[in-house]
Amino acid sequence: MALQHASSGQVIALQRSGEDMKQFSSIALAKTDELELIRLVLPAGKTMPEHWVKGQVTLQCLSGAIAVDAHGRTVVLHGGEMLYLEGGAAHALRAESDSIALLTIVLKD
């Protein structure tokens, strides 16, 4: 069965009360030819090894704290903060605490 993405105008809940943060339950929320939106749920200690994507990226931390290794340094995003990465920038993630983030990837230049 194909994943149902949100349709234009549909409200999407990014944070859910009572959610079990011990489960890694990231999900693609919406995807077009030009843009992909992904809700990341990262329990404390969860890592994503270094990787890169072709398009530009924003990572918005909604809650918790996420360490991002990029451009030879580490920054920690807290709830309400976001980071922009140019296309092709290698990066790795590590959840410093139970965290939820919104990842946006531009798929076309």
pLDDT digits (tens, 9 = 90+) for 21-33: 565 578 888 899 9
**Sheet bearing 47-51, strands edge to edge:** 47-51, 91-95, 65-70, 73-78
CA distance linking residue 76 with residue 67, whole number of Å:
4
Selection from 2, 3, 101 nearest residue 57 by Cα: 101
Share of the chain above pLDDT 70, in %: 82
Virtual CA dihedral for 33, 71, 62, 2, nearest 10 degrees?
30
- Residue 77 confidence class, pLDDT cut points 50, 70, 90: very high
- Residue 5 confidence class, pLDDT cut points 50, 70, 90: confident
Name the pTM for this structure: 0.84
